[in-house]
Chains A and B, each alone.
Chain A
Amino acid sequence: ETGVTQSPTHLIKTRGQQVTLRCSSQSGHNTVSWYQQALGQGPQFIFQYYREEENGRGNFPPRFSGLQFPNYSSELNVNALELDDSALYLCASSLGGLANEKLFFGSGTQLSVL
């Protein structure tokens, strides 16, 4: 157990809909990052939030957006869902601002887009 919790664990949506995924970071961690993991692939970095600001982004379109709240919890929002958005979405937290930090991952949200 890492202390990073994600909700919901599973979600089914229809193409074109919008979805919000939630993440509570480990106590004391002020940095949250999100990853997308397609079936059979390694996780791909979406973006990172540090002290409520996005400070790094992977190769994902603007319809993937996020928020980080004062308590360092975070949301991932995906608009205009496409079939290829079906994946496991992972949240990871870390202490922030330090080199060589370990990332602590949650168990993910499995999103299916029909």
Chain B
Amino acid sequence: DAKTTQPPSMDCAEGRAANLPCNHSTISGNEYVYWYRQIHSQGPQYIIHGLKNNETNEMASLIITEDRKSSTLILPHATLRDTAVYYCIVRVAASFQKLVFGTGTRLLVSP
């Protein structure tokens, strides 16, 4: 699985959009980009994933650059409950469910 690089921490004001970047310059053509988050004292929570097209669901939007070397997770209106560690993961689609987590980005949403 390709490696990812994320900033260690970011701040965001409540109600504003949070844009979390991820670099995955060695991504292969068959690797997907996944985002999970981990709120304190809980297990990781799936947010969204994509291959090459932009994706949106009820939680967030995922923007993947055309060359697929980087992506951005967008939380459109951050709330205090979005304070968490966000993990960007790339992996091949398979029934084998191993995820390789890095250290992620710690997002702090403030009033």
Contact = CB atoms under 8 A, between A and B. Distances in A.
Contact of B45 (A31, A44, A99, A105): A105
Given A42-B103, A42-B104, A100-B49, A94 B43 contact: no
Interface residues on A, range: 20 to 34
Contact of A107 (B43, B87, B104): B43
A99 B94 contact: yes
Interface residues of B, number: 22
Interface string A3-47: 010000000000000000000000000010101000011111100
B97 A94 contact: yes
Report whether over half of chain B's contact residues are helix, strand or loop; otherwise say mixed: loop
Contacts of B32: 100
A106 interface: yes
Nearest to A110: B41
A99 B44 contact: no
Contact of A103 (B41, B95, B97, B100): B97
A55 B94 CA distance: 12
Contacts of B43: 2, 4, 90-92, 105-108
A48 B44 contact: no
A4 B80 CA distance: 25
Interface of B: 32, 36, 41-46, 49, 87, 93-104
